[in-house]
Structure 1
Amino acid sequence: MSQSDTFFDYKHIWHPYASMIHPIPCYTVISAKGFYLKLKNGKNIIDGMSSWWSVIHGYNHPVLNKALKKQIKKMSHVMFGGITHLPAITLCRKLIKLTPEKLDCVFLSDSGSVSIEVAMKMLIQYWQALGQKRKLFLTVRNGYHGDTFAAMSVSDPENSLHKIYNNLLPKQLFADAPVSSFYQDWNINDIASFKKIMEKNSFKIAGVILEPIVQGVGGMNFYHPMYLKEIKILSDHYSIPVIFDEIATGFGRTGKMFAFEHADVVPDILCLGKSITGGTITLAATLTSRHIAETISKSKAGCFMHGPTYMGNPLACAVANANIKILQTNQWKKQVSNIEKQLFKNLLPLINHPYVIDVRILGAIGVVECSRSVNMFLIQKFFVENGVWIRPFKKLIYIVPPYTISTYALKKLINTIINALNKTELFT
């Protein structure tokens, strides 16, 4: 890759959440293996982000690569309308077996955000089939569900990436975010705001949507499992379906296969994405009950009105099947447990650092909430120069490493965070 390629990228390619006038320089990755990214200068850096939560088994995993190569010899893609294929059938069978018995109908799509759109459209069409025009969704503040329009509408309207679109988005209902953290005692008052909104608007709410246990980009908060349990009890009382967004947390990240298992509850609709293919290729799934699926199918339209071009992509389904096969060996449980133990041992002591407000740990997630916002350009440069890839935002420095990361590599990630905290010039 030449200097002109780098300049072209800087001048013409729009990266996520980046300015085209003052873009933050991008680091060129030429290959990746295990938990290392290799830069164009030959330097290997430890990936602490799993490419935004997705690469759970590390890069270039031989089992995943083999599945891709085997499938691409047959077909990389075929339309899903009026056609089916074994990789999709196998995947849906695996997903139904992996998730609670109630969830037995699967809609495949090509990204997590789209799976949220699909879930919300399902419930709008569900109520239409029942003769009711419900379109409001109830959620909690500090949430994040994606960058497409319906997904943005149920993400926090003030403290989110989407504030500038507020006047254009459908107005949804937002309860106060839970305050009781995962490891604290449960405070019943936490549910008061949600309960009040539910009681007042139950007749017009199409569904409830939230991230189980872990609120991601909205602040990396880990809330008490009883909050999730109470929400499900309330929703069931008013016969309002619940959507769980497990796009980030699904497939073991919190120490359970799915985060909702911490609360021992079952959603009416489940959204999966990111690590569903082990971080190799984009794919998502929306699972729901047969009751919801058949109610929609009895509607005036006679079918569910959604159909992405790359729905059920055979290549993605084939590698997702291989990914689930790896997970079914249950090695991930020990891997995630070891990561969690090391985070508690080496990251948690930062709670006493003068520039740290809080440290939060759950499974293979470690979060340091700082008292100051990071200078994105400077801190990114510092991390890369010190051999790690960590992508902080606002006041949060967090890591979600591949489950396969070594003790040494994880310690290096943590030590680099410690060193960064001691450099005031990296913060605003």
Structure 2
Amino acid sequence: MSKKHTISLAFDKNHIWHPYTSMSNPLPSYMVESAQGININLATGESLIDGMSSWWSVLHGYNHPVLNDALHKQSQKMSHVMFGGLTHQPAISLCETLIDITPSGLNRVFLSDSGSVAVEVAMKMAIQYWQSLQKPEKHKLLTVRNGYHGDTFAAMSVCDPVTGMHQIFEPVLIKNYFAPAPKSAFHGEWNEDERSSLERYFEQHHHELAAFIIEPIVQGTGGMRFYHPNYLKAAKKLCEQYNVLFIADEIATGLGRTGKLFACEWADISPDIMCLGKTLTGGYLSLAATLCTEHIANVISNGEAGCFMHGPTYMGNPLACAVANASINLLLSSQWQDKVTRIESVLEQNILPLASYDRVNACRVLGSIGVVEVTENVNVANIQKRFVELGVWIRPFGKLIYIMPPLIINDEDIVTLVNAIRTVLNEDDCFNQPVGIMSELG
């Protein structure tokens, strides 16, 4: 590594705060020189197979010529204009596509700039909807344990109070309601008692509930758990029965990751409000969308405020919308279902056998997601160093080692990722997180 890179890394360590790490004793950061396809290329010369899709966002790999071209062409026209009083074709085309491909009934689109904000927007929509109907008492949210919906304040209030990383903020968060986490596994038997358990919360609190919010099928940061589609079906019916809006947080699961274009499709339901983000632009720029029904939009628009009370500065950013259009078109024009099925098959063949290891509590696979749940917390600094030495980029957290690679990955590289996991399972230094260094949770 060059002297310049060494100096830059020293500055980074001393002055730049990275996600979920200490400034006084930070986790190591690795200098990236470039990225291409499924590889992250470090300044020290290593080329790492990316098993994380840069936190689930990079769908088609890095430096994709189609997406690069979309950005370049749009930048020649305009990189940004305010969305208040102005509009443009990239945003219009994107919203047309989102309405076309999402579950039926979602035909009003609010664009924002991150997943957390998309959740904030959804919550505000639900609350303002009931305000507009002269029912201000319906302003609480119901969700489930082990959920994660983002790091901003309203989003934190519907994250699990313990596994959601935000317990230190609990005294100042909005007080919402938490039902038990879904227990019936995706590939297991459905337990009808789960519906009864959830219904008790609706019975007791429906008069003050604006909405029920959940990550469909996959609970991400709360444990990388895959639950039974019947839970979603039951939740949707309860929302209809008790007059509560249903919010689906598809930020992580949207656009094919689980084997369906949207995870709600596993239960054949259509939410009242849906949040999208992460991979919306194929990992190029931050962009999110919150979709709702015409009815919700009309009620809000005819209410006391006369409009929806939100408006991000970079709402509808043309560059982000242009690359989102290119990314979605690239996905839909490919054999993406076959790609996900192939990835799932290779993951099942290679990850599920790891369940026999003493250090492993459980293994699970769904679509392009593979999870190894271990019996003790990982040592983030040590395990990350070993993964780099093994030629892969995998970022574990807590007791979870998981991968969700770009859809362009080949079978050989998937096996390399899993073999790296297999290797570290036998290395004690990669586990038992030392006291004083936070075990990363995101």
Report if the CA contact (8 A) 2:114-2:286 is conserved: yes
| Structure 1 match to 2:35 | 32
Ranges in structure 1 where 5+ consecutive residues have no aligned partner: none
| Structure 2 match to 1:320 | 324
Does residue 235 in structure 1 map to residue 239 in structure 2? yes
| Structure 2 match to 1:421 | 425
| Structure 2 match to 1:367 | 371
Q: Distance in 2 between matches of 1:14 and 1:237?
A: 46
| Structure 1 match to 2:255 | 251
Match of 1:79 among 73, 79, 82: 82
Partner secondary structure for residue 207 of structure 2: coil
Q: Distance in 1 between matches of 2:328 and 2:397?
A: 31
Q: Distance in 2 between matches of 1:70 and 1:330?
A: 22
Report if the CA contact (8 A) 2:344-2:369 is conserved: yes
Moved >3 Å (runs of 4+)? none
Does residue 63 in structure 1 map to residue 66 in structure 2? yes
Match of 2:153 among 138, 149, 154: 149
Give how far 1:135 is off. Answer: 1.3
| Structure 2 match to 1:338 | 342
Ranges in structure 2 where 5+ consecutive residues have no aligned partner: 433-442
Report if the CA contact (8 A) 2:119-2:275 is conserved: yes
Q: Distance in 2 between matches of 1:38 and 1:399?
A: 18
- Which residue identity does 1:395 align to in structure 2? K
Report if the CA contact (8 A) 2:249-2:276 is conserved: yes
Partner secondary structure for residue 69 of structure 1: helix
Give how far 1:4 is off. Answer: 1.1
Q: Distance in 2 between matches of 1:106 and 1:37?
A: 34
Give how far 1:238 is off. Answer: 1.3
Q: Distance in 1 between matches of 2:13 and 2:170?
A: 30
Q: Distance in 1 between matches of 2:296 and 2:69?
A: 37
Considering only aligned residues, what root-mean-square deviation do their CA atoms show, in Å?
0.7
| Structure 2 match to 1:355 | 359
Q: Residues 285-312 of structure 1: CA distance to partner in whole angstroms, max 9, x if unpaired?
A: 0000000000000111100000000000
Report if the CA contact (8 A) 1:144-1:217 is conserved: yes
Give how far 1:183 is off. Answer: 0.3
Q: Distance in 2 between matches of 1:341 and 1:5?
A: 42
- Which residue identity does 1:164 align to in structure 2? I
Q: Residues 39-98 of structure 1: CA distance to partner in whole angstroms, max 9, x if unpaired?
A: 001210100000000001000111101000000000000000000000000000010011
| Structure 2 match to 1:51 | 54
Partner secondary structure for residue 166 of structure 1: helix
Give how far 1:205 is off. Answer: 0.2
| Structure 1 match to 2:188 | 184
Partner secondary structure for residue 18 of structure 1: coil
Q: Distance in 2 between matches of 1:101 and 1:192?
A: 27
Give how far 1:2 is off. Answer: 2.6
Does residue 380 in structure 1 map to residue 373 in structure 2? no
Match of 1:271 among 263, 270, 275: 275
Give how far 1:239 is off. Answer: 1.8
TM-score w.r.t. length of structure 1: 0.99
Does residue 129 in structure 1 map to residue 127 in structure 2? no
Q: Residues 366-403 of structure 1: CA distance to partner in whole angstroms, max 9, x if unpaired?
A: 00000111001100000001100000001000001001
Give how far 1:330 is off. Answer: 3.7
Report if the CA contact (8 A) 1:178-1:191 is conserved: no
Q: Residues 92-131 of structure 1: CA distance to partner in whole angstroms, max 9, x if unpaired?
A: 0010011123000000000000000000000110000000
TM-score w.r.t. length of structure 2: 0.96
| Structure 2 match to 1:221 | 225
